[in-house]
Amino acid sequence: MTTACLLISRRKGGRQLLLADDQSVLAKHATALFPARRAKKLEGLKKEIEIDLHTVELSELCSRFKTDIDRGLTEEEAQMRLERDGPNALTPPKVTPNWVKFLQAQFGSGFSLLLWFGAVLCFFTYGIQVAFSENTARDNLYLGAVLAGVVIITGFFSYFQENKTSKIMDSFKKMVPPSALVVREGKSVSRPAASLVVGDIVHVKFGDRIPGDLRIIESSGLKVDNSSLTGESEPQTRIPSCTHSNPLETKNLAFYSTNALEGTAKGMVVQVGDLTVVGRIANLASGVDSGPTPISIELAHFIHLITGVAVFLGVTFFIIAISLNYSPLEAVVFLIGIIVANVPEGLLATVTVCLTLTAKRMAAKQCLVRNLEAVETLGSTSCICSDKTGTLTQNRMTVAHVYYDMKLYDADTTEDQSQGTPDKASPTWWALAHVAGLCNRATFGPDQASEPVLSRVCNGDASETALIKCIELSWGSVDKLREHNPKIAEIPFNSANKYQVSIHEQQTDPHYLLVMKGAPERILDRCNKVMERGKEVPMTPERRKACDDACTDLAGLGERVLGFCHLFLDPEKYPKGFEFDTDEVNFPLEDLCFVGLMAMIDPPRDAVPDAVKKCRTAGIKVIMVTGDHPITAAAIARQVGIISPGSETADDIAKRKNVPVETINPRHAKAAIVHGSELRDMPSEKLDHILKIHKEIVFARTSPQQKLLIVEGCQRLGHVVAVTGDGVNDSPALKRADIGVAMGIAGSDVSKQAADMILMDDNFASIVTGVEEGRIIFDNLKKSIAYTLTSNIPEISPFLIFIIVSIPLPLGTVTILFIDLGTDMVPAISLAYEQAESDIMQRKPRDAKKDRLVNQRLISLAYGQIGMIQAAAGFFSYFVIMAENGFMPSKLVGLRSDWDDRDNQAVEDSYGQQWTYSSRKSLEYTCHTAFFVSIVVVQWADLIISKTRRNSLFQQGMYNHRLTFGLFFETALACFFSYTPGMKDALRTYPLRGTWWVAAMPFSLIIFLYDEWRKYMLRRQPPGGFFERETYY
């Protein structure tokens, strides 16, 4: 077998190990790994593919890819590979056509299908009536048209609201460089990055984007920004030698689309397009789906419930109608009418508007909602998997500790520098500030003198930026310091020496000042003196041990530690104008004076610890998932409370007991810190076990695939998972989560496109606000639905009594529309503005299996209790008006057939008066109007009691002014329908006497008093009592 055909594929701990010579073999193997079926393809993408492209010798790699380090590929060979393997680009996923999305908006949800079904039934009923009778009323035609109109309008709204085509792949494409400098036939030429092929030799310099996954051949101080892929905020050095078996950890690979920040390099393209690291992430992110949202599941459950009730009532009364000797046609009309009467026409619009209003309210609180249903999902969240950098932390390296005079001092890491700084009176501090400010290549941007120091833009890496900001805040102007001490010579930092040196001329002193900073152990090794209170003293073993201990302690806090030293050069040996040579060093780099240490960290945001505490109170588990180092991750986790004080990991217990960690039962450890290397071979069962037994977990050094697996593990345990992230590496997990939350400031375009919600201030504390708003909207949707469904009983019962007792129809179809799409709409929407009840953030996350949006208790309360009282109010008004006009209740029973007979112009009332057909219908329509007004009156009380589920109205108060407006609105609308001239002919509503409004008011008072008593008993009884089991919805 030739090298050109080499492919070794074997299983290793559930992963696929690939050793391939060229892109075509990899592509074929990828095809075998990822079958056409989407699920299997995704499973393949979730597995981490290990390649040997960073471990084999360059000579073998050149042989494998048939290329030459100096001459590169020939144009002919490159073109052949391009035609065979395709362009170096990301393959876009299939896009759903807009017309399909529109049809999905119109017919895709259970609610819209129910409304369409109701509309079709109305048209069908109207058609039957037209076919079999003359002078048919058009009520069913109007009702069908209104139902169709409602679903079409809300469908349009949903289409335009949700038609944000996922632009994840477009966001990835923005990261791809347009061109690259490639070696072809020994010449460096510029070519489109899409035309690169495996085996191409390319040159990159600072400012470039890496045009493919590269194996580094030569490097001159190249540093790349891998933060979007690995979460590491520090620039990463790239060198030719392999430093780690993990491709993401090794320093001899540079990845497609990452930025080169410093230096230059020469590299070989080893992977292109979809097989690059970023290509796999892109395909994973565009392929995964979070599935249905909790609110869509709840609405589907509600549709099943309401449909079941409607069909049960319809079939039941169809059978009753047949048994009462109604004709089959009349029985079918009754069946359809009852089913349609159960359809809550205005509820779909109410839910959509409530979610939209909450989304607007959240936007004002820095939470931008991209997906309406995500508003409620955040409230259902039981687990938050949070990224560290930029979300929990400030996303800026800050000096956290300063060590000098053999003492450790805390620096101020707050976002507004409100804690002040320790005493800086010691001369050693001034010496340390000089070294940190001078041995530093970072600079402040121009024209920022009036800006706060922490807000200033700097040119330089994160650590040096942190140093100059610290000096500017606590010492004085760095620019003036440098102006008074101009730089004469410099040895830049490199990974071999691990130090940086610069020499400065002092304006007030004849001595040249040599300053050095770097890794603490390297700095201490070069010092034979140490400064204490401004005086140089010998570096004794005791002092060296104290310095080493300080370094160890600071590193244990997850901080990046730098050592600082200086030396005043002898003016006789190094007079003014001395030529310092930084290549053949002609100045001392030993026997220096150690000045101190500075330790930096990306500190937590001020509001995060309190936010984590609120999450715990609300029963939400917070897990840190980061690509950063375990020590740093654990330190931040302890500072923000993700690992609470006193919590121990298995390692901590083993250390305390001085026993091997293998002997410790993991169940005894409340906290766990899991390294990404452990996850690589971990079966899903073990991951689930870790997630289940540990309350406090930190996952560190995780890859994008591992983040996705952690999210899926939490979901397998029944959690509703929210994921926060800002990098490209977070996008698959953001997309898979029940709700993905991206960062608005530091977040990449990719992460924002994958997310359902964007935090405009990048602050984890905003999530807690979102959780509270999500819980409030779920509570308020329950209240809106309870309020809306209650009027179904007084709407349905007249029709049922009409069938069973054969009385004139008490309530017409048109007046039902007035209620569902008129008087009830604004009050139902106003409940979205209701304030939270007092225990909203003390409750545990809702149990999706038990705490449903609509449950049997809500149906029981709405239909069986409050609805019955409302129906009684309507019938009382109906019988009062009939009695005042001569028809006593006993006379009405069995009167329907004569009443509706057009040919009967002499129907007698209880007093023997004769009524013509037109006069009877005028009285009937007056009763319809009175029944409608009675429902409005009792809905006053229903709206007020719907403000709370447990608290008394006197505890909650009437502070929701939109709800107060809703009360006046529905009353005004009822008056409009009743008293506006012309309504008799247009809508068949008649003006009422003032006394007929009063008939329903006692029932309204009964509803209020009954519900206050119910809630009092609910609060008085212990949890799980009778009233909670039977009436708490």
Known catalytic residues are: 387
Let me know: does 959 contact 835? Beta carbons within 8 Å.
yes
Cα–Cα distance for residue pair 409/598, rounded to 1 Å: 10
**Closest listed residue to residue 96, CA positions, set 151, 163, 153:** 163
CA gap 734, 754 in Å, rounded: 6
Question: How far is 794 from 787, CA to CA, in rounded Å?
Answer: 13
DSSP bridge partners of 1027: none
Amino acid letter, residue 593: C
Number of alpha carbons in the 13 Å side-chain half-sphere of residue 341: 27
Would you call 218 helix, strand, or coil by DSSP?
A: strand
Do the Cβ atoms of 698 and 637 come closer than 8 Å?
yes
Half-sphere exposure of 429 (CA within 13 A, CB side): 17
Buried b (16+ CB within 10 A) or exposed e, 413-436: beeebeeebbeeebebbebbbbbb
- Could you please report the per-residue DSSP string of 944-1008? HHTT-SSS-HHHH-S--HHHHHHHHHHHHHHHHHHHSTTHHHHT------HHHHHTTHHHHHHHH
Which residue carries 């923000």 as its tokens? 640
* Strand-pair partners of 915: 907
Q: Give the DSSP per-residue string, 91-109.
A: PPPP---HHHHHHHHHHSS
Euclidean distance between CA atoms 877 and 871, whole angstroms: 10
Pairing between β-strand 213-225 and β-strand 259-271 as defined by DSSP bridges? antiparallel
Q: Which residues contact 800 (CB under 8 A, 6 or more apart)?
A: 313, 317, 338
Instruction: Give dist(CA 61, CA 67) in Å, integer.
Output: 8
Neighbours of 349 (CB within 10 A): 18
Q: How far apart are CA 222 and CA 549, in angstroms?
A: 33
Residue 221, helix vs strand vs coil: strand
Give 3-state DSSP helix, strand, coil % of the chain, rounded to 5.
50, 15, 35
Q: Are 986 and 818 in contact (CB under 8 A)?
A: no
Question: In which element (H, E) is residue 444 found?
Answer: strand 443-444
